[in-house]
Amino acid sequence: MELKDNILKLDKELNELDKFVIKFKKIIEKYTDYVIISGYVSILLGRARATEDIDIFIKELNRKTLNELYKELKKTNFWCLNTEDEEEIYNYLKDGLGVRFAKSKETIPNMEVKFALKPLQKESFNDRILIVMGKEELKISSLERQIAFKKYYLKSDKDIEDAKHIERLFNEKIDYNKVKLYKKLIENETR
């Protein structure tokens, strides 16, 4: 693992979960930008635990573009667990709710997609890391953001362990002043 200039090179064999995420993001990035957040990031970085969903923020889309994206997802054998109605999908996203997509006839794993609507969510696009795994790439939120959200927003045992895992791996690379800043921003946004 080598982290330099917000690029993290991982020497790992892609597993089925990685392939699922990569297939999905290749469709998403045709229509908008994205950033992967939360538990899958820790798993990607070697933490041994399971997950049912992969959380991903996308930049806000208009209704027409979202419908085109949804049609392509259906063509490539993804389905929406929340609803099959394009209008409802758009309304869920506009309301700040997550919409889940999985492979046809499956429910797990699934991608939980949200529009980045809040300031902290939008900012994650400016503060991210490019993961490079051979010929494949994924965009994840910064390590500092991961740690802060896990420790000070989500706070479950699993999330705390995810944060500790990232801290152990990248202790010397983590800007703890940034973590403190995110903690304050999280506290202000959730009041």
- CB-based contacts of 76, cutoff 8 Å, min separation 6: 23, 27
Question: How many angstroms separate the CA atoms of 83 and 86, rounded?
Answer: 8
Supply the pLDDT for residue 189.
82
Contact call for residues 123 and 113 (beta carbons, < 8 A): no
Q: Tell whether 138 is covered by a domain.
A: yes
CATH number at residue 31: 3.30.460
Which pLDDT tens digit goes with each residue over 84-129?
999 999 999 999 999 999 999 999 999 999 999 999 999 999 999 9
Question: How many angstroms separate the CA atoms of 167 and 21, rounded?
Answer: 24
Supply the pLDDT for residue 125.
98
Model confidence at 1, pLDDT cuts 50, 70, 90, reads confident
Q: What is the mean pLDDT of the chain?
A: 96
Which pLDDT tens digit goes with each residue over 31-47?
999 999 989 999 999 99
Model confidence at 190, pLDDT cuts 50, 70, 90, reads confident
**Does the pLDDT of residue 191 top 80, yes or no?**
no
Which pLDDT tens digit goes with each residue over 135-168?
999 999 999 999 999 999 999 999 999 999 999 9
- CB-based contacts of 110, cutoff 8 Å, min separation 6: 52, 53, 54, 81, 100, 101, 102
Q: Tell whether 163 is covered by a domain.
A: no
Total domain count, the chain: 1
Q: Tell whether 19 is covered by a domain.
A: yes
Q: Tell whether 184 is covered by a domain.
A: no
| pTM of the predicted protein model | 0.94
Give the domain extent around 56.
2-142
Q: Tell whether 188 is covered by a domain.
A: no
Task: Pick the more confident residue, 67 or 186.
Answer: 67
Q: Tell whether 178 is covered by a domain.
A: no
Q: Tell whether 161 is covered by a domain.
A: no
